[in-house]
Structures are given as C-alpha cells and as structure tokens.
Amino acid sequence: MKILIVEDERKVAQFVERALSEQSYTTRVAGSCAAARDALAESPYDAVVLDLGLPDGDGLELLRAWRAGGFNEPVLILSARDAVADRIRGLNLGADDYLPKPFSIDELVARLRSLLRRQAGVKATVLEHRGIRVDLLSRGVTFNGAAVELTSREYALLELFLQNAGRVLTRTLIAERVWEASYDMETNLIDVYVRKLRQKFTAGEGAEALFRTVRGTGYQLL
C-alpha cells in the first residue's frame, strides 16, 4: 500500500513517514501543493494524508481538485486548524477523516488503517501468484501455505512484483516505487533485495524460478 504524505513541516512529515514505513506502507512526502499534484499525477496512491496549510496554497483546494478529477482513495486531513467550520468544509469536500494537530501517531496509523480497510471493501485485498499470497490489509505473506517473514522493504518490493506479475519492471521503476527519492542508482540494493526475495520464495531444487533477471533492464515476476 502506498501513502502520499502532503506536509510542509519536515519534522512532522518525517515522523509520519517513519511510523507508516514501520507498518510496511510505502510512503512519499510532498511538501507543497505543486509537489503533491505532481506525485499524484505520476503514480497511484492508496491513501493521502493531507496537511491544509501549505506554502503555495490550501490543502482543501487540492482535495477539491482531486475529487473533481475522480481521485477516489481515502484522504485523511491533518491540520492545526481545528475549527469546526474547517473540519466540516474538509469533510464536505470529500475528506474521509480529520485529525487535528497535535495528534497521536498511533491514532493516525489506526485511523488510516481503518480507512484503507473500509476502502478495501470495494477492492481486491489479496494478491496471489504462483503460490505467493499477500494479504494487503494484514500484510501477512505466505508461500505455498507457509508464512514468510519479510522486512518492510522486501514487502514493498514483493507487492510491486505481484501487482505487475508478468511485466518486466525496470530498475528505475523499482527504485521509484519502492525507494522513492531515497534510492541511489549507483548502488546494487535492488539486486540485493531481489536476491532476498528469491531466497524466501523458492520451491526447492529443480523448481521453476519465480523471478527472472532481464539483463540490463530489470526483473520480472514470472
């Protein structure tokens, strides 16, 4: 699951990002309306955490435009404005929940999870492919029925492969989706992580490989 955090206060953004990453969510932070608009235009997100007071505009205007444009995923407003009128306006514009600052990070995580669960009622919540099974809500992973322990990063990578089973994923795309801005293309981290997935998802000697290396390009979940 991928969450966009729209927040211009670095400390708050990092705090939220860290908490959500610990829960195995993939996150990206946008510090302005412009950055948020770009992020959402570039790739899909499962939910947005939205601050209202942004340096180049009002989060509520962003929300209005997104809803008008058909963006349907949950939006949780996070704001120091706790006036009832603002809260009502946000909800009227299509926010799903509202958390006034200062907030408890545990409450934020719990509310977000609840929004995602509610949304999941209309979406597939289990990804399955060749014996790999991922429950997107509980984040439980099994392979041929046996539980598999994954780190947050391994989980995010596996989710990306499953959502694109059969497609060749370029290293650039993997870096963008799984590492966001923090990936250094000079490193071989992607290869290290694919190797870890291969080790964890192997059916044993002679079994057909699940992950194919596409030389010079990237990887493919067969």
CB of 36 to Ca ion, least distance (A): 12
Build a one-symbol-per-residue string for 95-114: x at contacts with Ca ion by CB under 5 A, - elsewhere. Answer: --------------------
CB of 187 to Ca ion, least distance (A): 33
CB of 53 to Ca ion, least distance (A): 4
Site for Ca ion in 191-210 (CB under 5 A): none
Task: Specify the stretch interacting with Ca ion by CB under 5 A; choose among 22-30, 47-55, 94-102, 182-190.
Answer: 47-55
Q: Which residue is nearest to Ca ion (CB)?
A: 53
Q: Which of 53, 57, 100, 131 binds Ca ion (CB under 5 A)?
A: 53
User: CB-wise, 53 or 57, nearer to Ca ion?
Assistant: 53
Q: Is 154 in the site for Ca ion (CB under 5 A)?
A: no
Interface with Ca ion (CB under 5 A), residue total: 3
Q: List strands edge to edge, sheet with 132-135.
A: 126-129, 132-135, 141-143, 146-147
Task: Specify the stretch interacting with Ca ion by CB under 5 A; choose among 53-61, 85-93, 179-187, 189-197.
Answer: 53-61
**DSSP states of the chain:** -EEEEE-S-HHHHHHHHHHHHHTT-EEEEE-SHHHHHHHHHHS--SEEEEESEETTEEHHHHHHHHHHTT--S-EEEEES---HHHHHHHHHTT-SEEEESS--HHHHHHHHHHHHHHHHTTS--EEEETTEEEETTT--EEETTEE----HHHHHHHHHHHHTTTSEEEHHHHIIIIIGGG--TTS-HHHHHHHHHHHHS---TTPPPSEEEETTTEEEE-
**Other beta carbons less than 10 A from residue 128's beta carbon:** 13
User: CB-wise, 53 or 131, nearer to Ca ion?
Assistant: 53
Q: Is 131 in the site for Ca ion (CB under 5 A)?
A: no
Q: Which of 1, 4, 6, 8 binds Ca ion (CB under 5 A)?
A: 8
Return residues touching Ca ion (CB under 5 A): 8, 51, 53
